Chain A
Amino acid sequence: MGILCVTPTAMSVRSLLSDLLGRAVEVQMLTRKELTSKAAAAVAVYVSETGALAGVAAVDLAVGGALGAGLALLPPRLVAEGEAAGELQDDVMENLAEVFNVMTPILNAEGRPRVTLDMVYRSSDQLPAPVSKMLDGQVGQVPLNVSVSGYGAGNLAIVVR
């Protein structure tokens, strides 16, 4: 349990994503962190009611594309095209932002301070230093591999404070 956020489990992430996408999603906890701020295709920042940085979620191109395309049943080829281009397409990114928004409840629990989605950054954006530091640190890390049926797999890192 983080100070500001609930620490999500592979099961809570799998349950939320499979319900949201309406398709099979497998989530495995990794033994070590594989996603860095430099390799992230998109980063979501969650804050407390006082505006304090409470949590970060980051995806690589593969799973960012899979979640963003899968949400709106966009063609799976968009995932490979995004990886080849080195960035997520605008419509995929817009959908991914909604996925990050819907993920908010897994960072919250009754009786604890409320955490909300504050901002979603894409790979071309300059991440605020505290966000990069949190993502690249060792504390509160929840490194996950996420596989979306029909769209492929990749890394999702959640970090809670």
Chain B
Amino acid sequence: MKKILIVDDSKAMRMIVARTLRQAGFDGVEVVEAGNGVEALQVIEGARPDLVLSDWNMPEMNGIELLKTLRANNSALPLGFVTSESTPEMQALAAESGALFLIVKPFTADTFEGALRPHLAA
């Protein structure tokens, strides 16, 4: 079973992302959660997720810092952003830092399906 880590400082948004995953047809995945980048690093070490869906703006450690920390530690763990803001600068920074995609809130199940399916196959 694939495992997805949802990182967002809003408990409600983590719930919505998990619900949208189910609506997008990923109801077989196991979901684990973290409230910021620091928590996410701890969860990653213990839970070994297959994919991370991370908010950008969070306290303690934001999403881009989380991604850069992973890559600095030679982790190739796939990570996509789910964020309320999406400027061209953020998109460029996300891409050059190794993010898979950047989904803008509010999102639909179709958006999730299109963005995640290539990375969760088999």
Contact = CB atoms under 8 A, between A and B. Distances in A.
Interface residues of B, number: 17
A19 B104 contact: no
B105 A72 contact: no
B15 A105 contact: no
Given A101-B84, A104-B85, A20 B106 contact: yes
Interface string A61-76: 0000000000110000
**Range of interface residues on chain A?**
10 to 19
Contacts of B86: 105
A20 B15 CA distance: 12
25 contacts: A19-B106, A19-B107, A19-B108, A20-B105, A22-B16, A71-B12, A72-B15, A94-B10, A94-B11, A95-B10, A95-B12, A97-B10, A98-B10, A101-B10, A101-B84, A102-B105, A104-B84, A104-B85, A105-B84, A105-B85, A105-B104, A110-B88, A114-B85, A114-B87, A116-B85
